[in-house]
Amino acid sequence: MGLNNQWMQRDLAVLWHPCTQMKDHEQLPLIPIKRGEGVWLEDFEGKRYLDAVSSWWVNVFGHANPRINQRIKDQVDQLEHVILAGFSHQPVIELSERLVKMTPAGLTRCFYADNGSSCIEVALKMSFHYWLNRDQPNKKRFVTLTNSYHGETMAAMSVGDVPLFTETYKALLLDTIKVPSPDCYLRPEGVSWEAHSRTMFLAMEQTLAEHHDTVAAVIVEPLIQGAGGMRMYHPVYLTLLREACDRYGVHLILDEIAVGFGRTGTMFACEQAGITPDFLCLSKALTGGYLPLAACMTTDDVYGAFYDDYPTLRAFLHSHSYTGNPLACAAALATLDIFEEDNVIENNKALAQRMARSTAHLTDHLHVSEVRQTGMVLAIEMVQDKASKTAYPWQERRGLKVFQHALERGALLRPLGSVVYFLPPYVITPEQIDFLAEVASEGIDIATRTDISVSVPSNFHPDFRDPG
């Protein structure tokens, strides 16, 4: 029995993995990773895999980055953790100062959580509580987009709309208002991204006009709906949304957990619309992919609604044990140093162009309906019929075939259903991008030329997707 298999058997005896049907591992080998370096992950038998998805979208400057490593090592000798209620520490203060300085003007306060879903919960609770403190208790509903994803805790699921994640738990979720997504994938032929996004905004305008008296906030993923299949839209939608939220007296929550820190081509996606949200949710790349940390950033107006004498009970009594953990803050500070010192955003432009060139040939593939891109995210959508954009039944798991082929070739590509995507660390080289394009092209050929027979149940739901 090889080393990989030994570790796999020990794992399967005790672990329950996230976002996984564990029975799959009766046929699909689990891959134990021993070490990482740069864009590479290495298993216990020495095989390497190029991490094309940044280990669930978190790793931006490579595995075992020496600069982040050193900052964490220095911090662990000083302070590993301290309660953030009534106490503070240098890394969290410095990180907060830098986040306030680098995010859009008006975001002046940082509230920390442990992960993306928890950060969304903070923003939702804070918005609801704000209106309560402002004597508007009727404003307690949230507006969200169809096909959106904001995490897997209860309130975060409530404002999501990917059925695979939410359908089972419907009875537990908040009553939210869903508005059609500005997703440009299904725009009419000849219509630009901007024109389509403007048209789709009419539904949001109407919803806010009708329901603003009972709505606390609108929450959206700016520019890219990640777990919804890397669907994309034009920044003008965000500009119009900010104007409408101001007009109707509704908060705007931007979930930049996946798209912040350079992923869309600017440091924050909302910069492309020239707007400031009332709440900006950040996580994932914040620590360079090292440690769990999230920041919910907000304004002086929101902060002021909670600032009062204790007996009024206006305080935001929300906490996490590891809020503002010094080690995570140290990793985040090192990550921000790299952004400042290495001209990352500008360098990414050349890498994004290489991604576009290396995959351009796939636009002519018989079973590829679209190759779309926003900054350092590129998605290739496989379909049953190109002309009508008819999707493959999700039960066929075409993306799984791409995933399996990529592993054989030494790449970690984890498609979202039938959407193959590149979301690599920013330290990837042009040659490594070409390799990924080659592997993806081969995998798509294999996945789309194979006849797959599956039984489709009577309650077949065409919007279900593999989670990726």
Instruction: Mark the binding-site residues for pyridoxal 5'-phosphate, compressed into ranges.
Output: 116-117, 255, 320-321
- The identity of residue 310, as a single letter, is Y
Edge-to-edge strand list for the sheet holding 40-43: 33-37, 40-43, 48-51, 411-412
Phi, psi of 279 (to 5 degrees): -140, 130
* Chain Cα centroid distance, residue 109: 22
Annotated binding site for substrate: 56, 149, 284, 319, 414
CA distance 272 to 266: 7
Contacts of 301 (CB under 8 A, 6+ apart): 278
Annotated binding site: 56, 116-117, 149, 255, 284, 319-321, 414
Exposure on the CB side of residue 290, measured as CA atoms within 13 A: 28
Give the residue from 464, 396, 446 showing the smallest Cα distance to 165: 464
Phi, psi of 202 (to 5 degrees): -55, -35
Give the residue from 87, 225, 114 showing the smallest Cα distance to 159: 225
Percent helix, percent strand, percent coil in the chain, to nearest 5: 45, 15, 40
CA distance 217 to 253: 7
What is the token pair recorded at 260?
Answer: 């912040």
Please tell me the total number of residues recorded for the chain in this structure. Answer: 468
